[in-house]
Amino acid sequence: MADEEELTGGATGGATRVGRTVRRPTGPWTPAVHELLDYLHEAGLRGIPQAHGTDEQGREVLTYVEGRGVPVDDEVVLPEVLQEAVAWLRDFHDLVDGFRPDGPRTWRQTGEVELAPGQVICHNDPGAYNWIIQSGHFVAMIDWDLAGPGDPIDDLAFMAWTAIPLYREIDPALAAERINLLVDAYGEWGPMTLLDAVERRMRTAADRIEAGVERGDEGMLNLARLRGEPQRTRERVEAFAARRPAIEEHL
């Protein structure tokens, strides 16, 4: 299309903007993701793109959400923005608990599975780089292609990884302050439980990227080529584990 604009914010590649829509590569997981988005839209969840099927090139068509992304390596989101994003995540988890597909669905990272008892469909990649900000406020979560079964705390842990941010070194007192803000805004688990979940979730993230590379998932291959994954995440998790006692002293 002549009026296509490449969207370069992500590392998995392939997204373009066409007018008020985004076009992205599809996969076996796309029908399940669109079913999820349709459910959430009908349930009244704010801040998500709408799915509009596929175009003549076989790409998925989603609404383009106006606003700016978050350059996580250069910006630490303001406390009020962090609080807004966590409140959105809680709303999402409360609503998605009612999404119980009548049989197995195919998801990008797990293949064809059914929801296990206690699981919900998680976003699985709610890092701050997938937030949309308008006028200094969190307004939307994008990039749902990694959605799939999981535990709600896994999403909260992933959010903490990039939005505290725990993946890089910051002042331990500030990290503790932002962790307390995050757990208070979500209202379910304490800070120590969350820190345990962060280590577990990010080790899982590295394993999933590695598995995606091995099965030839183009998005995961891009992460390996452009970001040095999964080794980058594994090194960051080890560095976080070494910093964790200093953070815990302030909790």
Tens-digit pLDDT profile for residues 87-121: 999 999 999 999 999 999 999 999 999 999 989 99
Q: Are 106 and 100 in contact (CB under 8 A)?
A: no
CATH domain 79-248 topology: Transferase(Phosphotransferase); domain 1 (1.10.510)
Q: How confident is the model at residue 221 (pLDDT cuts 50, 70, 90)?
A: very high
Give the model's pLDDT for residue 98: 97
Give the model's pLDDT for residue 111: 94
Q: How many residues does the chain have?
A: 251
**Secondary structure class of 208 (helix, strand, coil):** helix
Give the model's pLDDT for residue 15: 86
Q: What is the DSSP string of 109-175?
A: TTEEE-PPTT-EEE-S---GGGEEEETTEEEEE---TT-EEE-HHHHHHHHHHHHS--SS---HHHH
* pTM: predicted TM-score of the whole model, two decimal places: 0.94
- Radius of gyration of the chain from Cα atoms? 18
Task: Please state the rounded mean pLDDT for residues 133-160.
Answer: 97
- Asked if pLDDT for residue 29 goes beyond 70, the answer is yes
> Side chain identity at 116, as an amino acid letter?
A
Give the model's pLDDT for residue 14: 76
Q: Are 205 and 158 in contact (CB under 8 A)?
A: yes
Give the model's pLDDT for residue 12: 60
Helices 172-186 and 79-96 sit at what angle, rounded to 10 degrees? 40
- Report the percentage of the chain scoring pLDDT > 70: 97
Task: Please state the rounded mean pLDDT for residues 216-242.
Answer: 95
Task: Please state the rounded mean pLDDT for residues 202-206.
Answer: 96
- Asked if pLDDT for residue 7 goes beyond 90, the answer is no
- Asked if pLDDT for residue 229 goes beyond 80, the answer is yes
| Between 10 and 179, residue with greater pLDDT | 179
- Asked if pLDDT for residue 197 goes beyond 90, the answer is yes
**In the numeric block, which tokens belong to residue 61?**
């068509």
Name the DSSP class of 76.
-
Task: Tell me the C-alpha to C-alpha distance, in Å, between residue 6 and each of 26, 55, 189, 224.
Answer: 16, 16, 40, 21
Q: Which long-range contacts (C-beta less than 8 Å, at least 24 apart) are formed by 202-205?
A: 202/157, 202/158, 202/161, 202/167, 202/233, 202/236, 202/237, 202/240, 203/234, 203/237, 204/154, 205/158, 205/230, 205/233
| Between 13 and 39, residue with greater pLDDT | 39
Q: Provide the mean pLDDT of the chain.
A: 94
**Secondary structure class of 62 (helix, strand, coil):** strand
The CA distance from 89 to 185, in Å, is 10
Give the model's pLDDT for residue 103: 94
**In the numeric block, which tokens belong to residue 161?**
């990884």
Task: Please state the rounded mean pLDDT for residues 153-179.
Answer: 97
Give the model's pLDDT for residue 5: 83
Q: Are 26 and 59 in contact (CB under 8 A)?
A: yes
**Region label for 169, one of left (φ > 0), alpha (ψ between -120 and 50) or beta (otherwise):** beta
Give the model's pLDDT for residue 10: 58
- Asked if pLDDT for residue 189 goes beyond 90, the answer is yes
- Asked if pLDDT for residue 11 goes beyond 60, the answer is no
